[in-house]
A and B are shown apart, each in its own frame.
Chain A
Amino acid sequence: MNRKDHITAFYIETLILIVVFVVVILMLTNVFQAARIESVRARRLSDAVILAGNVAEAVSWTEEGEDLLGVLGGEGGAELMPDGRGLTVYYGEDHQADRNGPYMVSAVVVSEEQGAEAESRLVTYEISVKDTQRGEVIYTLRTSVFRKGERS
């Protein structure tokens, strides 16, 4: 093998090495980015669980719209649905009511059954937390509440 062949082989080996190096960098970059995305997703899920839990506790406490808005919405972060069968609350990253926040929590009555006692009802709510920026549902839960008396 003469000198020219040696040089050519060197160039080819180096180019292959560069290609492999670039591929490894791209793979590792993807791994780091995926880890960061998963971390953000985990925190958002935790926030969603807490917010959904709070709304579940509130709707089990009362079905009076004004009372619900008072404990959940603060200043302008919550609104009742027009048909009166649910509400929507917007929260920021700090769990404070914020119409421009990334979390939209909605509680909707999905069923209302006659209870075992007279004038009693079993009301089932579906509470879902949605990411307002991505438009995807982060967390959903269902809760049932036993209520005495007719719906006001």
Chain B
Amino acid sequence: MKQKKSSYLGLYSIGIALIFLAGFFMLVIFGAQCYRSTVMERDANIKTRSVLSYLSAVVREGDSSGAVSVERDSVLGDVLTVRDGDSGYAFKVYSRGGKLLEEYVPAESEPDADSAETIGETESFAVTEMRGGLLMIDTDEGRVLIRLRSLAGDQYE
């Protein structure tokens, strides 16, 4: 009788330990899944914000008469050029190899992707100039519309 009671107690202890173990494993798995999901959302958020906000900021900063233009390169596709005042230099933004690149070079020079800085990731980069000074930039992260205030007067002429 005493042995039976001891075995019941032993089984009970093992059962409790197994419950704790199962609970810990479930908590770890659930926590890891939540963490992975949170990081994925954060990364997607950062990618979208960095690319689109950067494009908007660089165009707005250089928005003066004739400063913003789009060139078509046979290899790189659309190249967004934003002249830096009267310095003779310009920011050139384009996409190559799945990356959005930017370089600060003399305005009349050809783009050199090897020396450019990486801003973000995008396979597609298309810039459309609408009449009246609206710039439409399409990337993998979405579209950003920028009205060029320096050309705003053209709309009503």
Contact = CB atoms under 8 A, between A and B. Distances in A.
Q: Is the interface of B mostly helix, strand, loop or mixed?
A: helix
A83 to B, nearest CB: 23
Contact of B145 (A35, A54, A148): A54
Interface string B3-27: 0010001001000100110010011
Interface stretch (B79-87, B92-100, B132-140): B132-140
Interface in A27-68: 28-29, 32-33, 35-36, 39-40, 42-43, 46-47, 50, 53-54, 57-58, 60-62
Q: Which 10 pairs of residues, A with B, have the shortest CB-CB distance?
A: A95-B142, A32-B34, A39-B41, A43-B45, A57-B145, A39-B38, A54-B145, A61-B134, A57-B147, A61-B147
A22 B155 CA distance: 66
Given A33-B34, A46-B45, A18 B19 contact: yes
A28 to B, nearest CB: 6
Given A28-B31, A29-B27, A61-B147, A42 B41 contact: yes
Q: Is the interface of A mostly helix, strand, loop or mixed?
A: helix
Interface of A: 7, 10-11, 14, 17-18, 21-22, 25, 28-29, 32-33, 35-36, 39-40, 42-43, 46-47, 50, 53-54, 57-58, 60-62, 71, 94-96, 148-149
Interface in B75-122: none
Contacts of A42: 41-42, 45
B72 interface: no
B142 A62 contact: no
B142 A18 contact: no
Given A39-B37, A54-B143, A95-B143, A25 B27 contact: yes
B48 A47 contact: yes
A127 to B, nearest CB: 12
Interface residues of B, number: 38
Contacts of A95: 141-143
Nearest to B42: A39
B30 interface: yes
